[in-house]
Amino acid sequence: MPRMRASFTQDETASTVTPKAEPVPSAKPLARAVASSSSSFFNIAPRSCTRSMAVSATASGTPSFCASSGATERAADIGLYWRIETALREGEARLGWLHGVSGAIHAMRRELVPVLPPGLILDDMYLPATVMFAGKWVWMARDAVALDSASQDETEEFQRKLRTLAGNWQLMAKLPSLLDPFANPAWFAFVSHKLLRLVAPWAMIAALIASASAGRPFYTVLFVLQLLAYVVAALAIFRPRAASGIPLAATAGTFVMLNAAALWSLPMSLRLDPRGLWKKH
């Protein structure tokens, strides 16, 4: 396993960055040359600009290494979901299956940076996918960290998730080889981590309908338990103070919100103008 080297320059003085009123998704990252053979990408947004930093992640003695992802951390506790997501990415990196990078901070070799398709939503998945299809290695530099604040409210968090999940549908349309187990070296990770996440809400609806219509006591109990879980999740989303004393209520709320975004992501991905998924926060 190659030795990773991450270098930072960091200014403790807060800086203000004012984005355009209607950011174009394909121009979201700010590319900055930090070495003669590599480029770093930063997602510049008001919430993440309290510090300026530069990162260059490289590997020693591994010609196939061509891209590296940093890690995004929230200033506030973001719960079980993001901890599981981070653990999954680290595990995928160790297995050579990392197929997405942190949009807030990542780097890749300059000669491999492609021209991004117009209207692209997930450049932080498109870029590493092209590296992966070229037979190269995408790694995770855990010490390269971008700080981000938590969403101000549930509406903003839902919009974030909706944008990302709709981008997954768009990505599969633009890179159909992601669904080919013979062409995609990280096919298992992509299907289990990304595709099944999009399918999950439809399976949940089917389970609710099936248990309600089965007509047997066991399935009736399962139906009632599902309804109770959804009620608790709704309380956690819309009345968090009322649900604060219920165990796992916040986790249930996050789970249901994520699946609601996944359910709505398909029609949203069919929008003619993907800029509608971007909101100025």
Is the model more confident about 97 or about 50?
Answer: 97
pTM for this entry: 0.74
Q: Are residues 36 and 166 in the same domain?
A: no
Beta bridge partners of 107: 40, 68
Instruction: Reply yes or no on whether the pLDDT at 23 is more than 70.
Output: no
Q: Are residues 71 and 164 in the same domain?
A: no
Q: Are residues 159 and 109 in the same domain?
A: no
First to last CA, the chain: 40
Per the rule left: phi > 0, alpha: psi between -120 and 50, beta: everything else, 79 is left
Tens of pLDDT, residues 159-214: 888 999 999 999 999 999 999 999 999 999 999 999 999 999 999 999 999 999 99
Q: Are residues 165 and 261 in the same domain?
A: yes
Amino acid type, 65:
F
Q: Are residues 209 and 130 in the same domain?
A: no
Question: Quick one: pLDDT at residue 146?
Answer: 73
Q: Are residues 42 and 146 in the same domain?
A: yes
Q: Are residues 168 and 138 in the same domain?
A: no
Question: Quick one: pLDDT at residue 166?
Answer: 92
Of 110, 129, 150, the position where a domain reaches its end is 150
Question: Quick one: pLDDT at residue 143?
Answer: 73
Q: Are residues 115 and 226 in the same domain?
A: no
Of 110, 135, 150, the position where a domain reaches its end is 150
Instruction: Reply yes or no on whether the pLDDT at 36 is more than 90.
Output: no
Q: Are residues 191 and 235 in the same domain?
A: yes
Q: Residue 42 sits in which domain range?
A: 4-150
Is the model more confident about 70 or about 143?
Answer: 143
Of 105, 121, 150, the position where a domain reaches its end is 150
Q: Are residues 167 and 37 in the same domain?
A: no
Q: Are residues 125 and 53 in the same domain?
A: yes
Tens of pLDDT, residues 40-91: 565 544 344 333 333 443 433 444 556 666 666 655 555 677 788 888 888 8
Domains in the chain, number: 2
Q: Give the whole-angstrom CA distance, residue 89 versus residue 97.
A: 9
Q: Are residues 87 and 217 in the same domain?
A: no
**Residue 206: helix, strand or coil by DSSP?**
helix
Strands 65-74, 137-148: parallel, antiparallel or unpaired by DSSP? parallel
